[in-house]
A = this chain, B = another copy of it.
Amino acid sequence: MQLLNSLCHIPAPAGNEVALTRFILNYVRQMSPGWQHQPTVIADERFQDCVLLVFGQPRTAVFAHLDSIGFTVRYGRQLVPIGGPRAEAGYRLVGHDSQGEIECTLTIDDETGELGYAFHRDIDRGTELTFYCDFRETATTVQSCYLDNRLGVWNALRLCETLEHGIIAFSCWEEHGGGSVAYLARFIYETYGVRQALISDITWVTEGVRPGLGCAISLRDSLIPRRSYVDRIRAIAAESGIPHQLEVEGSGGSDAKELQLAAAPWDWCFVGAPEDHVHSPDELVDKRDIESMRQLYQVLLQKL
């Protein structure tokens, strides 16, 4: 889990993912010689801070978003959320501005509910703050901020070790309205003819999706994927014998939103481990679900 630990420590709030992009590119450069198949790495200004890894003759693309939730410093000592972070007074936040490194705490106004920070000095307007990373591992669990979606990124990087045919797409802005998947999807569809997608992201523990019972295959969230594609994925998962769970929600979203609305006929399915304490510094995932997610992606990329 050293790789996951490293990924969770790198600040990459939506819109400013560049530090994580550099880490990914460096990691690929260092590790890919040991992978079974070598990908083409696509990362230039046409793709902003996104990265594409193209293996063999791809039929399916895996989307894993790099960005995280966080906060932007507004005026006075106000904060504005990036995405939908959970907010509790006392959360430790980190960042840096023109005056140096910052470690401050989140405050919440009792009356107005307005978010702010407590720090010994004012922080530059527009500075991004992210959760302080306290990475905790036990025999059965991993706990940290930003498992959503560093675990999805980790899963995609582990998949690279054995992947023969497929595309890994590391996207930006997922937590804050999207903004990169539309052009990634267009490039992938027009260049490779690929229109099958898996969303490598983290979902919620609920009354129907329990920790330890395996990776979740989502039948729907706020959007509804094409039934026939999801049914194919369910059949492959069932045949594989890998533990998994079926999720049905009426809310929530992912990079799939941009695929669904793209000007190309994308089939997509969200396949990811469930976590507890979503969007907090204490996101918690069961290691069995991580292992199930890793195995499921290997099989799905072969069979789809």
Contact = CB atoms under 8 A, between A and B. Distances in A.
Interface of A: 14-16, 18, 45-49, 72-76, 80-82, 125-126, 128, 173, 176-180, 182-183, 185-186, 206-208, 219-220, 222-228, 246, 248-250, 258, 260-265, 267
Contact of A179 (B72, B179, B183, B261): B261
Interface of chain A, helix or strand or loop or mixed? loop
Contacts of A227: 15-16, 18, 128
A126 B262 contact: no
A265 B173 contact: no
A7 to B, nearest CB: 20
A248 B15 contact: no
Task: Report how many copies the assembly holds.
Answer: 3
A264 B46 CA distance: 8
A45 B185 CA distance: 17
A217 B246 CA distance: 44
B220 A80 contact: yes
B183 A264 contact: yes
Nearest to A176: B224
A74 B224 CA distance: 13
B265 A72 contact: no
A270 to B, nearest CB: 13
Given A72-B248, A80-B249, A250-B81, A263 B261 contact: no
